[in-house]
Amino acid sequence: MLKSCIRARFLWRSLRSVQGWRIESQQMMSTQSIPSPVIGGVAEDKKLGLATHLVLIGALAAVYYATARAGLLFAIPPGNATAIWPPSGIALGGLLLGGLPVTPGIWIGSFLVNTGTGVSSVTAAGIATGNTAAALVAFALCRRFLNLDTPFRHAACGFRLFFIAAVACLLASTLGSGSLAINGYLPEGQFASNWSTWWLGDLAGVMLVSPIFLLYGARYSSQMPTHAFSGAVVSLLVLGVISLAIFGSWLPEELSEGLLYLPSIALFWLLLRFPPIVVFGGNLLIAMIAVHYTSRGSGPFATEIVANSLFELQFFMTVYALMTLALVGVLSSQREAENRESQLAARVKADEEMRKKETELAHVARLATMGELVAGIAHEVNQPLYAIANYAAASENLLASSDVRHPERLCDLNRQISDQAVRAGEIIRRMRGFVEKSGEQRTVFPISDAVNEACCLLEAEARLQMIAVEIDPESPPPVWVRADRIQIEQVLINLIRNAFDAMRETDGDRRVVKLRTAVVETEVQVSVTDGGTGISQASASELFSPFFTTKPDGMGMGLAISRTIVEAHGGRIWASPGNDGGAVFTVALPIQ
Ligand code: ADP
């Protein structure tokens, strides 16, 4: 008893731990699937003070200025429109991280850098306004059309960023080139080329730089394990060398043209091996090297007119960036699916493990019940054996007396012997069936079968304890359930035996256990009513807890196991006080 109790305790704990894991993993999955809203940029979550905002504005202006100065090295005359304008990506990134309060940093950085190109303050202000407006529009569109928590979850996300950038950058190029033209800085007939270079330069800047900020905002960058860091650096160096060889004219012209798409192979390698941040970094590296050398007249894009070369290069870079973003999206959606699949597999495994443990637990409980049933059943089997011996002796006497005038009497005795043998066999079959360790087997059967079988198994014990077990004759016609019959019988046996125990001190005529079956809406309810001690208020809330018992020799598992079984079948079990004392335990199961 003690041994099975300890084993049951162990099994129950491991069962609970499996369920706990299941809940944790479900919680994990659900928190992963609910994106947290990033409303005004990452910094807004942290409620920053005015001083911090001023520092952020200053920092954004400084970074904008520095990258713009670098970008202007590749400007076409009069020196404001460039082949690649990283600050457009920096401006959007600043808003994504700092939120709307850092907007002045864009305007200040842009204004300062443009006044440095020799244009008037009014013109610089016009250009700065265009750049700021473009960043604000891009920011608003990103918040509307990209999930900022997982911005590159599928291939379409890259295209969305492309369209967002294309629309927003129209503002910067139109206001920028417009300011230059109105204030007389653009030579005659140069507006269109200046406008398109500006637009494409800004577009390339957003496509190449802002993904890095989007990833930072989504906190993807922390996904790279430290040991992969050195591998990423080496891979980026190799990519840099390949790009230098192609765009820096280290190779003969025909060869460098032929190898133009070699960096894309290196990028694919980065895509497969490292987190997206490394891929976007690699893309930016290729772009910087390509622009640097093309503007100096070398590499596969170099032509007589630098502006034309840079124009072609802009297309090349934008397409490259778009392709990379789309591939990052494809890969991350594939990884997400794989992730989901493995989580699902883990869950299925945990479920299986739980079911296995449930079966084992139920078996332990059945063994414990069996131990107590054996005495009664031994008594029960004894009866048919005794009867067989009597009938056999009677027929022997009949044969010895050579009284052949009554052969039908001999036949009758033989039939009695075989009936009793069948009955003994049936009792043993039931015992074996009940105690056998088998996996769950759900079948469709009338609930009355389980009720009758449970009563039969307890018949001997009831007789020994002088308790009457009554099945309500008004029970409804067969109600079918889909369940593991042995398990449901086990539940009923637990309830009936508890009823016996509760009536140890009960007087003669109240020693009755009543079983009643009723149909209530979509479920069938079997109630076990006794005339015992009833349930005290103190124990009412604990009844179904494992190891709760008020009996000196109790294990406290019967009701806990019964509840596990019933709930696994989609049913319910509860206790209530009886009408004239005693207790009523009810099991409700869905009707098939
Ligand atoms: P055990 O029978 O080993 O104590 P159970 O889980 O079957 O374990 O029952 C837990 C407790 O619930 C019992 O110890 C008893 O106090 C209470 N209980 C169960 N059935 C009845 C009942 N029919 N009448 C009164 N109390 C009951």
Closest CA to 316 of 300, 338, 332: 300
Q: Which residue has the higher pLDDT, 387 or 62?
A: 62
The verdict on residue 418 lying in a domain is no
In the predicted structure, residue 21 carries a pLDDT above the cut 50: no
**112 in the same domain as 216:** yes
CB of residue 548 inside a 6 A radius of ligand 1: yes
CB of residue 531 inside a 6 A radius of ligand 1: no
Single out the residue in 346, 367, 386 at which a domain terminates: 346
The verdict on residue 393 lying in a domain is no
* Banded model confidence at residue 153, pLDDT cuts 50, 70, 90: confident
Are 217 and 42 a contacting pair, CB within 8 Å? Answer: yes
In the prediction, which pLDDT does 510 show? 85
How are beta strands 583-590 and 572-577 bridged, if at all? antiparallel
CB burial class (10 A; 0-12, 13-18, 19+) of residue 48?
Answer: middle
The verdict on residue 231 lying in a domain is yes
* Residue 460, token pair as written in the block: 């001997």
The verdict on residue 427 lying in a domain is no
Amino acid letter, residue 351:
D
CB of residue 493 inside a 6 A radius of ligand 1: no
**189 in the same domain as 84:** yes
CB of residue 504 inside a 6 A radius of ligand 1: no
Point out the ligand 1 atom lying closest to the alpha carbon of residue 532.
Answer: 24
Atom 23 of ligand 1, residue of closest alpha carbon:
499
Range of the domain at 197: 32-346
Cβ count near 150 (within 10 Å): 18
Closest CA to 591 of 523, 527, 517, 518: 523
Q: Percent of the chain having pLDDT more than 90? A: 31
In the prediction, which pLDDT does 223 show? 57
**212 in the same domain as 84:** yes
To which residue do tokens 């009755």 refer? Answer: 512
**457 in the same domain as 326:** no
Cα of 553 from ligand 1 centre, angstroms = 11
CB of residue 530 inside a 6 A radius of ligand 1: yes
Output the domain CATH number for residue 534. 3.30.565.10
String of b and e for 400-436 (b: at least 16 CB within 10 Å)?
A: eeeeeeeeeeeeebeebbeebeebbeebeebbeebbe
The verdict on residue 383 lying in a domain is no
The verdict on residue 397 lying in a domain is no
The residues pairing with 480 across neighbouring beta strands, listed in sequence order, are 446
The verdict on residue 14 lying in a domain is no
CB of residue 269 inside a 6 A radius of ligand 1: no
Cα of 565 from ligand 1 centre, angstroms = 17
How are beta strands 442-446 and 523-529 bridged, if at all? unpaired
Closest CA to 320 of 247, 405, 410, 213: 247
Single out the residue in 346, 376, 392 at which a domain terminates: 346
Question: In Å, what is the CA distance from 503 to each residue of 248, 289, 311, 499, 510?
Answer: 97, 91, 96, 6, 8
Average pLDDT, the chain: 81
DSSP string, 521-565: TTEEEEEEE--SS---HHHHTTTTSTT---STT--S-HHHHHHHH
Chain segment 68-110, per-residue pLDDT in tens: 888 777 665 556 667 778 899 999 999 988 889 999 999 999 9
Atom 21 of ligand 1, residue of closest alpha carbon:
498
**H-helix or E-strand spanning residue 572:** strand 572-577
Point out the ligand 1 atom lying closest to the alpha carbon of residue 494.
Answer: 7
Chain segment 320-366, per-residue pLDDT in tens: 888 888 888 888 888 888 888 999 999 999 888 877 777 776 777 76
The verdict on residue 230 lying in a domain is yes
CB burial class (10 A; 0-12, 13-18, 19+) of residue 9?
Answer: middle
* Residue 532, token pair as written in the block: 């015992």
Single out the residue in 293, 319, 346 at which a domain terminates: 346
**451 in the same domain as 342:** no
**342 in the same domain as 444:** no
**144 in the same domain as 280:** yes
Cα of 296 from ligand 1 centre, angstroms = 91
Give the count of domains, the chain: 2
CB of residue 574 inside a 6 A radius of ligand 1: no
